[in-house]
Amino acid sequence: GKEIAQGVSGPIGIMQTIYVISHNGLAAFLFFLGLLNAAVGGFNLIPFPALDGSRLLILMVAGLRGREFDPDKEARFHFTGLVILLTLVIFVTFFDVQRLFAGSLPIE
Q: Domain segments of the chain: what residues?
A: 2-102
Per the rule left: phi > 0, alpha: psi between -120 and 50, beta: everything else, 25 is left
Q: How confident is the model at residue 108 (pLDDT cuts 50, 70, 90)?
A: very low
pLDDT tens readout for residues 27-62: 999 999 999 999 999 999 999 999 999 999 999 999
**Range of lowest pLDDT (4-13, 22-31, 46-55):** 4-13
3-state secondary structure of 107: coil
Residue 82 CB-half CA count within 13 A? 9
What is the average pLDDT across 76-88?
95
Q: Is 86 exposed, middle or buried (0-12, 13-18, 19+ CB in 10 A)?
A: exposed
